[in-house]
Structure 1
């Protein structure tokens, strides 16, 4: 049996703008994991015990993955298995049945509360990584290959997104990320249908650069008690892009400048620069929110950030509208920050950057 652990993620800076090709973000992998256990077996079985799906039989039929149980929660896994299977077939590798069990630490184990740590992306990466592990004797497996196969599967299922969360779950650590051109990927898949040449070529605009965090940097994470609906928030931005390209263009420029400044802060180990750029990105997102009525910052996120700013700098993480907020602070201030968050009804999460995992 092989066991693969894949981390979740948190967005640090560059949200929304990263959906545009060429605009950067910073994302970090966190030490909450999806675990995949895979072994060769007589019959292909998928087990998701936390979803009440302990033994789902599946088979390949006419190039499609068929699950014996219909459940929309299986869509990401179904498409991922199909993508990896197609890739292996294109490489003339004979595939064998496997038993795959997936468990998650990304949501709260007791209540099932979602923290917004990128579970769908982490599951896709875990499925790709675990299946490829069975065929390491027949093909070289790299992080680039895992990312591209996972990105194809994730995009085919969701139809949108930057895949920054896929990158974080694949590479780990802190990443300076620029998304590929989604329309290019869609067109290439449509015109070709073959996956192998696609994973072997350069993807337009894609950049994945590891960053080294300063030793004194402490990333604090607080949960607001509500989940965000990312898709609905993104939809509110679409009319602004169409009707007022000047305002949207200003947002993109401010987001890019804030992220670029933060990258310099990382590279120079300049905490003040990193905190200032975190606040600058927050202001850009607030302006976007005001123009769209998207409510990126809820009342709880506003409280979280106001407290964080007393001990460093704070910001929403990801789409906003709920889920988690973050703070850049220092070790000597962390306990007081957590205490004030608790007093304000914010739940401090015991989450750290995940720099190493298997």
Structure 2
């Protein structure tokens, strides 16, 4: 067995299909060039030793047999714990492990730090125990782990962390199709408000229970937008893609998941010359995105910042899961 391994996974940015993807619809997601690193080594005994300074955890330890019982731990720690539990249970391994995490992005932006740390932890365990695994096997175990912690979810952020690039994705990984994308001229604006993804997903689930016909019709419209966006991306039709962004945002507003802050930044970006703009992710806060002509990028960025947003510089279509050493 190897003595120490280092694995990294990227964050993600949702382009099209939020919320509907939880209900058997497609979405389009891209990996961003902010990475989370997990270093894993074997440790004497049967304990997990965890250092995760990005969530304020240093020198945390627990018996492997007691992992997953403390719901008061920071969410990032719970994802690491559950990853270890599920891996050890599935493969019947016995050892102590020491895990250190290092994040290249703040969880506040909504770039998918929970998914990145789950994927990187599970991949590092396969490596440290010298077990081969396909991307789909890593996805399936990661998906189970995320569901153990937060219930509802589609897995698109896990797929982005594993495959990287830009993906057309259907719920639970039924379809994971890499899209050939040269570059998308996107501006990312942060509202300054942290979104509560599980709460927003539950809110939409409740809406669907009380008004199923209306919500399913919205989901069907979002699906049509996603499929249209897939074709526009392939054809590099940015004007058409921007129009679909605007339509997607309108549909998400009708689900009640946007916010005054998001709407303000989206409107500012459009008025600044963007082809189109929308919220990105669960809504309620976090980030919005705008597709911009090259000669209007500065105007759009300034328009977002003039309304109190923060422009986040990220590269898109980034490399997926990677064994660093």
TM-score (norm. length: structure 1) = 0.81
Contact 1:60–1:66 under 8 Å retained in 2: no
**1:289-328 Cα distance to aligned partner (Å, 9 max, x none):** 2xxxxxx222221221112222221000111111100011
Contact 2:43–2:98 under 8 Å retained in 1: yes
Q: Bigger shift: 279-288 or 39-48?
A: 39-48
| Distance 1:174-1:221 versus aligned 2 partners, 3 A rule | same
1:135 partnered with 2:129: yes
| Distance 1:75-1:268 versus aligned 2 partners, 3 A rule | same
In the alignment, what sits opposite 2:180?
212
Please report how far the alpha carbon of residue 68 of structure 1 lies from its aligned counterpart in structure 2 after TM superposition.
10
Gaps of 5+ in 1: 108-112, 181-204, 290-295
Please report how far the alpha carbon of residue 268 of structure 1 lies from its aligned counterpart in structure 2 after TM superposition.
2.1
**1:29-61 Cα distance to aligned partner (Å, 9 max, x none):** 111121111222325421112333211223333
What RMSD, in angstroms, separates the aligned Cα atoms of the two structures?
2.1
Contact 1:128–1:150 under 8 Å retained in 2: yes
1:104 partnered with 2:103: yes
- Using the alignment, how far apart are the partners of 1:39 and 1:354 within structure 2? 30
Gaps of 5+ in 2: none
1:56 partnered with 2:60: yes
SS in 2 for 1:8: strand
Please report how far the alpha carbon of residue 12 of structure 1 lies from its aligned counterpart in structure 2 after TM superposition.
1.1
Indicate which of 257, 261, 266 corresponds to 1:300: 261
Q: Bigger shift: 121-130 or 305-314?
A: 305-314
1:87 partnered with 2:90: yes
Contact 1:57–1:67 under 8 Å retained in 2: no
Please report how far the alpha carbon of residue 67 of structure 1 lies from its aligned counterpart in structure 2 after TM superposition.
8.3
Indicate which of 34, 37, 42 corresponds to 2:39: 37
Count of aligned positions: 313
Counting only pairs closer than 5 Å after superposition, residues 1-358 of structure 1 correspond to structure 2 as: 1-21=4-24, 23-43=25-45, 44=47, 45-61=49-65, 65=67, 71-73=73-75, 74-89=77-92, 94-107=93-106, 114-136=108-130, 139-180=131-172, 206-215=174-183, 217-289=184-256, 296-309=257-270, 310-357=273-320, 358=322
Contact 1:88–1:95 under 8 Å retained in 2: no
Contact 2:15–2:29 under 8 Å retained in 1: yes
- Using the alignment, how far apart are the partners of 2:169 and 2:43 within structure 1? 38
TM-score (norm. length: structure 2) = 0.89
Please report how far the alpha carbon of residue 84 of structure 1 lies from its aligned counterpart in structure 2 after TM superposition.
0.9
Please report how far the alpha carbon of residue 86 of structure 1 lies from its aligned counterpart in structure 2 after TM superposition.
1.7
- Using the alignment, how far apart are the partners of 1:132 and 1:245 within structure 2? 42
- Using the alignment, how far apart are the partners of 2:72 and 2:203 within structure 1? 31
Relative contact order (alpha carbons < 8 A, sep ≥ 6): 1 or 2 greater? 2
